[in-house]
């Protein structure tokens, strides 16, 4: 097995266990066993648990950005792109919640300087896939809308989409709103479409 395959196996195993058991509830030995590698292999690629954890976070960001890029480049309209993002996030709800817990909690260890440097170097303004979302919005609003306005539209639509994806992923919300017609996939799709139409229209 080459180094790339080993690193990928470790990341896949770590992402699964971190999303299921959390940071504190996951040991490096458990990750090594699931990935069928030695602990020394984890140390070689990531040095420690903290760096491995943040590497899985970055991997999730890259994954979402790649999906968004594919949606946009397939020629879909704004509404369809954001509905696909919503479906992708709800289908991968554990990873979504894990990413937000990482960003919002003060209990997680800070990444090593080399990880921070990599995150800053690759990070563009806005959420994952921001430049692709701005592209598809720009196609519908035309060239007269300012860059600031297109960025605002992207932020508003992404925030609305991820807000409902997070709520729909939680067990508590599912129990509380089990019989609420507003809390269904169909109603959320309809809401995203209406939101997209309203935001795009405001820039035309």
Task: Label residue 66 by pLDDT band (50, 70, 90).
Answer: very high
Is residue 70 in a domain? yes
Is residue 53 in a domain? no
Asked if 88 and 152 sit in the same domain, the reply is yes
Asked if 29 and 120 sit in the same domain, the reply is no
Is residue 55 in a domain? no
Asked if 42 and 112 sit in the same domain, the reply is no
Task: Give the Cα separation of 42 and 44 in Å (integer).
Answer: 5
Range of the domain at 24: 1-46
Asked if 109 and 16 sit in the same domain, the reply is no
Task: Label residue 70 by pLDDT band (50, 70, 90).
Answer: very high
Asked if 22 and 106 sit in the same domain, the reply is no
Is residue 52 in a domain? no
Task: Label residue 96 by pLDDT band (50, 70, 90).
Answer: confident
pLDDT value of position 75: 86
- Nearest 5 degrees, angle CA 143-CA 202-CA 160? 105
Whether the model pTM is above 0.75: yes
């Amino acid at each position: 097995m080459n180094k790339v395959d080993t690193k990928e196996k470790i990341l896949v195993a770590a992402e699964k266990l971190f999303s299921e058991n959390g940071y504190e509830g996951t040991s490096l030995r458990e990750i090594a066993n699931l990935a069928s590698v030695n602990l020394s292999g984890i140390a070689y690629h990531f040095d420690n648990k903290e760096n491995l954890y943040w590497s899985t976070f970055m991997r999730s960001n890259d994954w979402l950005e790649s999906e968004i890029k594919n949606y946009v480049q397939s020629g879909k309209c704004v509404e369809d792109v954001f509905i696909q993002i919503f479906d992708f996030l709800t289908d991968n709800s554990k990873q979504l919640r894990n990413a937000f817990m990482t960003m919002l909690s003060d209990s997680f260890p800070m990444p090593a300087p080399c990880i921070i440097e990599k995150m800053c170097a690759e990070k563009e303004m806005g959420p994952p896939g921001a430049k692709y979302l701005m592209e598809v919005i720009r196609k519908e609003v035309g060239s007269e809308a300012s860059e600031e306005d297109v960025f605002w539209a992207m932020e508003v639509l992404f925030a609305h989409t991820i807000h409902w994806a997070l709520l729909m992923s939680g067990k508590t919300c599912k129990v509380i709103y089990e019989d609420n017609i507003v809390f269904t996939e169909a109603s959320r799709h309809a809401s995203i479409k209406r939101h997209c139409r309203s935001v795009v229209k405001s820039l035309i």
